Structure 1
Amino acid sequence: MFELVEPIATVTFSAVPNEAFLALGMRNYWDGYFAGRAAPLGLAPAGVVHAVFYNFADGEVARHIPWVWGKTTPQEAIIVRERASAATLRQVIGDLADSPGLVRVAHLATRAAVSAPIEGRVLYAALRGLDVPEEPVARLWHAATLLREHRGDGHNAALVAHGIGGTEAHVLLALSLGMRPEEFGRVHHLPVAQLTAVVDGLRGRGLVDARGGFTDAGRDIKDRIEALTDELAAPAYGVLSPDELDELAAGLEPIAAAARAIDD
């Protein structure tokens, strides 16, 4: 379900939503990213947004929050994000947007998306407070975003439970992909000394070996975090019967495939 939901939700990080936020006066992509994604939290200070988003390096959130709220409001950002994301999704899925099947998929996805527990899920709970769109494409994007952030909140909990910080999580992901941290998109801009210190810390905990690869202990902790993330995401789908879950997965497949093409 993660592989099917993620491409649909993340159309919000593509060109059309970015342009919509630039039109509001944002300086760059990341202004729009933080304005759109943090908007359901209201005028939360940078420290709170940093805690909820978890995996940005210290100081990165503060470069955008609260500056963006001098150009727009959380309420306006929510509207702009939804409209631009739905327009993008409609464009990339073509004729599927007006099919009866999409209405059914949006209905099933929404049932799952509004059924999950909110305890400890700060960003998911904030999104649950928003109105569910009536238009089917917008409704599907909204449902996918709810499911994504519900899983993301659980992933953060899994990282915390295993003592992995946000920057450490990105470094470990880079290493798992066979990349040096300074080559990895989310952290490549950080000073080399800072990334070296993170790797040294992971090495000191026995998670990374002398060559910068995973030790058995590092691989084990990564696997346990991923398994716990899946386990914590599962309750969102408990409201659906096995047949409905199969129907949802089958209906999402062509939509997700089309959405993935944005990155191709």
Structure 2
Amino acid sequence: MFELLEPIATITYSAVPNEAFLAVGMRNYWDGYFAGRAAPLGLAPAEVVHAVFYNFADGEVARHIPWVWGKITPQEAIAVREQGSATALRQTLGELADSPDLVRIAELATRAATSAPTEGRALYAGLRALAVPAEPVAQLWHAATLLREHRGDGHNAALLAHGIGGTEAHVLLALSLGMKAEEFGRIHHLPKAHLAAVVTGLHARGLVTPAGVFTDTGRATKQRIEALTDDLAAPAYTVLSADELDELIAGLEPIAAAAQAVD
């Protein structure tokens, strides 16, 4: 489900929604990112957004929040994000966007997305408080976003339970992909000395070698985190029967394939 929903939800971070945020006064991509993604939390201060998002380096959120709220309200940001994301998804789906099958898939995804427990999941709970869009393409995007953030809140809990901080998680992901930390897109802008210190700390805990290669302990820790993340995401789908879940998976496959082609 992660592989099928991620391309749909993350179309939010493509060109069309970004342009929509720039058109309402955002200075750059990251202004729009933080305004749109944090909007369901209301006028939460940077410290709260930093805690909920979990994986940004110290000070990164504060470069955008609360500045963005001087240009746009959370309610306006929610609308810009939804409209821009639905437009981008519709454009990339082409004829699929008007398929009767999409209406059914959006309905199944929405049932799952609005049935999961909210306890301990601040960002998911904020999204759950929003109205579900009526238009099928927008509804599908909204459902995918709900399920993505539900999983994300659980993933943060799994990382926290294993003592892995946000920057550490990015470094470990980079290393698992065979990349150096300073080559990985989400953290490449951080000072090399800072990233080197993170790798040193992970080595001191026995998770990686001095050269930044996973140890057996590191691999086992990563596997436990991923397994726990899956387990915590699973309750969202218990509302669907086995046949409905199979139908959802089959219906999402061509949609996700089309969405994955977006820059």
Q: What is the TM-score when the length of structure 1 is the normalising length?
A: 0.99
Runs of 4+ in 1 over 2 A off after TM superposition: none
What whole-Å deviation, never above 9, does each CA across 1:25-59 have from its counterpart, x for those lacking one? 11110000000000000000000000000000010
Partner of 1:196: 196
Measured in 1, the distance between the counterparts of 2:11 and 2:175 equals: 26
What runs of 5+ residues in structure 1 fail to find an aligned partner? Answer: none
Partner of 2:253: 253
Give aligned pairs, total: 263
Measured in 2, the distance between the counterparts of 1:172 and 1:158 equals: 14
Partner of 1:88: 88
Contact 2:200–2:210 (8 Å) recurs in 1: no
Partner of 1:208: 208
Partner of 1:237: 237
Which structure 2 residues correspond to residues 1-264 of structure 1 after superposition, within 5 A?
Answer: 1-263=1-263
Measured in 1, the distance between the counterparts of 2:10 and 2:159 equals: 22
3-state secondary structure, aligned to 1:261: coil
What whole-Å deviation, never above 9, does each CA across 1:182-208 have from its counterpart, x for those lacking one? 000010000011101100000000001
Measured in 2, the distance between the counterparts of 1:239 and 1:98 equals: 26
Measured in 1, the distance between the counterparts of 2:123 and 2:10 equals: 15
Measured in 2, the distance between the counterparts of 1:257 and 1:188 equals: 28
- Cα offset, 1:210, TM superposition: 2.0
Measured in 2, the distance between the counterparts of 1:190 and 1:135 equals: 41
Measured in 1, the distance between the counterparts of 2:132 and 2:77 equals: 16
- Cα offset, 1:211, TM superposition: 1.6
- Cα offset, 1:99, TM superposition: 1.0
What runs of 5+ residues in structure 2 fail to find an aligned partner? Answer: none
Contact 2:121–2:153 (8 Å) recurs in 1: yes
Measured in 2, the distance between the counterparts of 1:16 and 1:82 equals: 11
3-state secondary structure, aligned to 1:132: coil
- Cα offset, 1:222, TM superposition: 0.4
3-state secondary structure, aligned to 1:236: helix
Measured in 2, the distance between the counterparts of 1:128 and 1:14 equals: 23
Measured in 1, the distance between the counterparts of 2:55 and 2:185 equals: 13
- Cα offset, 1:212, TM superposition: 1.0
Contact 2:57–2:166 (8 Å) recurs in 1: yes
3-state secondary structure, aligned to 2:188: coil
3-state secondary structure, aligned to 1:76: helix
- Percent identical pairs in the alignment equals 81
